[in-house]
Amino acid sequence: MKLDLSLYVLIDPDQTFGFDPVALARAAASGGATVIQLRDKGGAIRRTIALAAALKAALAPMGVPLLVNDRVDIAAAAGADGVHLGQDDIEPALARRLLGPRAIIGQTVKSAAHVAAVPLGAVDYVAVGGVFATLSKTNPDPPLGLGGLAARIAELRARKAALPIAAIAGIDAANAGSVIAAGADGVALISAIAKASDPAAAAAAVRRAVDRARETAP
């Protein structure tokens, strides 16, 4: 499945603010989300598999890939399109071995050391973050800011020019353009859409900000 990081929306069933997670994902996709990730840290595994399968079924007709946070086994069980791996998760190379060459595998990086360690042969994209302060996740260290984001992107580009890069944490329609201007290919977010009264409209607003910033980028 073609990978477009323009608007990468995370669905956390414990942070849907009253929405059904599948309805929320569908709304995000209809508003222009290009990737959906299921992040279900607290769920019993069979609940997570069922939810991932339901998301995959909802998103497949819309042509939007579904990734699963952390768990290769859940991704495989649900027929998801791939996994997103944090620095404390399993090695991307192992995920690649288990999921095969067609899976989409992404990894989060925050520090220069993380960038240096990215296994370029095993990952399809990188998420850089946390860029701004976020309410959706407890991040122990300070946000990177736009300067830190640009530095990580430069380090990644120095290693491999073509790898797509998403920025994550604290991004919304108001600051999405600045993130794209800093060099990111797209934005990853959760609460800017889940907390909106109209998630499809909220997704469309962020997507417009991304597209507009990209048009005006040098």
Annotated binding-site residue numbers: 37-41, 69-70, 89, 108, 134-137, 170, 190-191
H helix runs in the chain, sequence order: 21-30, 45-59, 72-78, 92-99, 112-117, 145-159, 176-181, 191-194, 199-216
Given the complex with a copy of itself, which of 118 and 165 has the nearer CB atom?
A: 118
Residues 113-172 contacting a copy of itself, CB under 8 A: none
Instruction: Name the minimum Å distance from CB 121 to a copy of itself.
Output: 17
In the stretch 9-48, what mask flags binding to a copy of itself with x, by CB under 8 A?
-----------------------------------xxx--
Q: How far apart are CA 83 and CA 17, in angstroms?
A: 24
Given the complex with a copy of itself, which of 68 and 127 has the nearer CB atom?
A: 68
Place of tokens 């600045």: 178
Instruction: Name the minimum Å distance from CB 128 to a copy of itself.
Output: 21
Instruction: Name the minimum Å distance from CB 98 to a copy of itself.
Output: 5
Three-state DSSP class for residue 195: coil
Given the complex with a copy of itself, which of 54 and 90 has the nearer CB atom?
A: 90
What angle separates helix 21-30 from helix 45-59, to the nearest 10 degrees?
30
49 touching a copy of itself, by CB under 8 A: yes
71 touching a copy of itself, by CB under 8 A: yes
85's enclosing H/E stretch is strand 82-85
Binding range to a copy of itself, per CB under 8 A, among 3-11, 15-23, 91-99, 107-115:
91-99
Q: Which of 50, 53, 73, 163 binds a copy of itself (CB under 8 A)?
A: 73
Q: How far apart are CA 56 and CA 134, in angstroms?
A: 27
Q: How far apart are CA 96 and CA 52, in angstroms?
A: 19
Binding range to a copy of itself, per CB under 8 A, among 13-21, 88-96, 187-195, 208-216:
88-96
Binding range to a copy of itself, per CB under 8 A, among 14-22, 94-102, 170-178, 192-200:
94-102
What secondary structure, in 3-state letters, does 22-67 show?
HHHHHHHHHCCCCEEEECCCCCCHHHHHHHHHHHHHHHHHHCCCEE
Instruction: Give the residue among 193, 197, 188 at the shortest CA–CA distance from 205.
Output: 193
Sign, Cα dihedral of 160, 161, 163, 167: positive
- Which residues of this chain interact with a copy of itself, rule CB under 8 A? 44-46, 49, 70-74, 76-77, 88-91, 94-95, 97-98
